[in-house]
Structure 1
Amino acid sequence: MQPREGQGGYAGDVSPQLAWQWVQQGEAVLVDVRTDAEREWVGFVPGALPVAWKQWPGMAMNAGFDEAVRAAADGGRKLVLLCRSGVRSVAAARRATELGLEAYNILEGFEGDPDGHGQRGRKGGWRYHGLPWRQN
């Protein structure tokens, strides 16, 4: 598995499986950019660094994002960014790249795309692929 070229402005896109492989090998830090509410109610990846890109309610930008991702990448580690479906994580990866960091978007996100019934979790995503996660 190799990263694929991103949409521009960041290092590229990786599958959930490749992201997990990099994390297990100590090559990358997993940064979950979903809101605190999403992680609390939908589930989270144990060991992932929780750094919301935007916060609910209102989806206001997280003023501490830059500082937190700089600290996560300390020592030149690459970042793999996870959101619900792989949209916010692209924006977050672009911002991390602007800060001089090596940042990748995790394709499909935590929940994947909606299926024909508008439900997530059945069509791609971190959980769908059986990667580690927990729910409170």
Structure 2
Amino acid sequence: MSQFNQILENARGRAVSKGLAYAGEVTPAEAWALVQAVPSAKIVDVRTHAEWQWVGVVPGAELIEWKSYPGMVANPHFVTQLKAAVDSEAIVLFLCRSGARSHDAAALAAQHGYTAAMNILEGFEGDKDAAGHRGSKNGWQAAGLPWTQG
């Protein structure tokens, strides 16, 4: 079985075991491998403009806010913006800070016809470490995957 197929099988297995309303969950490393292997696969970063600017972004990711800072008000145009940016037949990998907003975005995308909507586990910054800081315990940054400062 190819690495690509193994990643998709693992992602689907996680979704089934958790009863998720979308296609699957992938680790940051699996997400990066899918983007490298499948040209139509897209990472959609659903964090805020402030997070993109001050924390960093994944090169090539689509940037569509789920909620806006500072009030964390839901983006009423999220689905419209997603449909304009990403084909509903593509593998869509949603990313946020820790995996919570991206979970919600993947579920909404699936409701709107995105059959391969997936959540990137751990998010961009990951969980807090013992000192209460993000970015070193797990997540995209801790995995050493490509990103740039805003």
Tell me the number of residue pairs that the alignment of Structure 1 and Structure 2 aligns.
Answer: 136
Instruction: Report whether the alignment pairs 1:128 with 2:142.
Output: yes
| Residue 62 (structure 1) aligns with | 75
Distance 1:15 1:27, change over 3 A: farther
Instruction: Report whether the alignment pairs 1:119 with 2:119.
Output: no
5 Å-filtered alignment, 1:1-136, equals 1=7, 2-3=10-11, 4-6=13-15, 7=18, 8-25=20-37, 26-74=39-87, 76-101=89-114, 102-136=116-150
The normalised TM-score by structure 1 is: 0.94
Whether the 8 Å contact between 1:5 and 1:11 is mirrored in structure 2 is no
Give a deviation string over 1:110-129, Cα, whole Å, max 9, x none: 00100111110111010111
Deviation at 1:75, TM superposition (A): 6.1
- Segments of 5+ residues of structure 2 without an aligned counterpart are 1-6
Give a deviation string over 1:37-75, Cα, whole Å, max 9, x none: 001001111110000111101111112210122233326
Deviation at 1:27, TM superposition (A): 4.5
**% of aligned pairs identical?**
49
Which whole-Å CA distance do the structure 1 matches of 2:124 and 2:148 have between them?
12
Give a deviation string over 1:2-26, Cα, whole Å, max 9, x none: 3142341111110111111111121
The normalised TM-score by structure 2 is: 0.85
